[in-house]
Chain A
Amino acid sequence: MGLPPIYYHYFARPLPYLRALHLQESIHALQLEQRRASASAHKDVLLLLQHTPVYTGGRRQTEAELARERTRLAALGADFVLAQRGGELTYHGPGQLVGYPLLDLARTDPALGIREYICRLQRVLALHLREAHGLVPVETAHTGVFLGAQAKVASIGVQVRHRLTAHGFAVNVTREPQRWFDEVVACGLPDVRATSIEAAAGRETAVEAEVPGVVARFGRVMEREMAPLELGADALGELVGAVDQESRTHS
């Protein structure tokens, strides 16, 4: 018997970071609960979205370190949140495609190792940049996707609990995120600047336009079928549907 599909959903309206974080936590709790009852009841899901402007820190940041930055960045009009993911300070906002794969690494036998999982996320993005835009990432020791030694186009930051993943990746599609990145030293790399698909490819595109290609390549690299999540159809669909509905009425 083959593996079940990974269910995906793209939120058409930008979500506040905390709203999406809360959704991730709810899905994580649901997956844990369902998996305890039966080995295959829980579903793997890929959430795709944009955030409203927010700077986020990872586990290595301390509140003290970031206290000063918090005030300055809030004055720019961005939220500021410390998350439980790996990686350091980064920015999310309109013009950037964010992906949260919430997968069970132990779905396959043998289980997918964390290092291999991160590699695959990078591969999905690299493949998409190459095939959809003719952009070739450069090899680097850093995690993430670079289009030049000092030009970062995508970031990765993940959390794993009981082999269930949370958080994920973010790729700059339009030029819009770049000026927000210029306000900070992102990812602990002072010499690196953010670039975008638009800037590197020299032509305009939009986040929505990138979604189908990213979904397809995600399926290819993970070797899984991708299926659209039916909102409201089950517990998972209800959780996602509620957030989707809310974003449409509040925007």
Chain B
Amino acid sequence: MSAQRVMHRAPLTLRRTVVTKHFTQDHEAVKFDSDTGVGTVTITDYAQKSLGDIVFVELPEEGATIEKGESVGAVESVKAASDIFAPVSGEVISINTKLGESPSLLNKSPEEDGWLYQLNLSEPGELESLLTEEQYKEFCES
């Protein structure tokens, strides 16, 4: 039967990208984009305050496979090197090279411009065991 088939294109509705934020008790955060599967890892404002003036940042290498809980680098301030731990597992796809020249970016904008690295999450389910923003705030205040 060759009734003419009219193809209707579904109207292109505007969809909001779903980005969720998850926190750890080590004062790190992951902004997860469920569409791309990419997580952007940062430290929190609480962390940068506790550290003082940051003078050096050690980041994982691009292409590295990291496991949740693994030490992947460090943030150094006033002679204290504080290890940073991977909040989730995955492959590092980019690192914030601006931090090499301007480590102070981590103090000024820890959760935005001072992002540390981005990774393709290998186990998005790991996000469920992290803290929500509210739980993290409670944790900080406790």
Contacts and interface: CB of A to CB of B under 8 A. Distances in A.
Interface of A: 58-60, 84-87, 109, 111, 113-115, 117-118, 143-144, 155-163
20 contacts: A59-B74, A85-B79, A86-B76, A86-B81, A87-B79, A113-B51, A113-B52, A114-B82, A115-B51, A115-B80, A117-B80, A118-B52, A157-B79, A158-B79, A158-B80, A159-B81, A159-B83, A160-B81, A161-B83, A162-B85
How many residues of B sit at the interface, in one of the four size bands?
10 to 19
Find the residue from A87, A114, A159 having the highest chain B CB count within 10 A. A114
A113 B79 contact: no
Contact of A113 (B49, B74, B81): B49
B95 to A, nearest CB: 16
A114 B76 contact: no
Interface of B: 26, 49-52, 56, 58, 71, 74, 76-83, 85, 142
A118 B79 contact: yes
The secondary-structure label for the interface of chain A is loop
A114 B77 contact: yes
A115 B79 contact: no
Contact of B26 (A113, A144, A162): A162
A84 B78 contact: no
A87 B58 CA distance: 13
Contacts of B26: 162-163
A111 B26 CA distance: 12
A115 B81 contact: no
A156 B79 contact: yes
Nearest to B71: A161
B79 A59 contact: no
B131 to A, nearest CB: 15
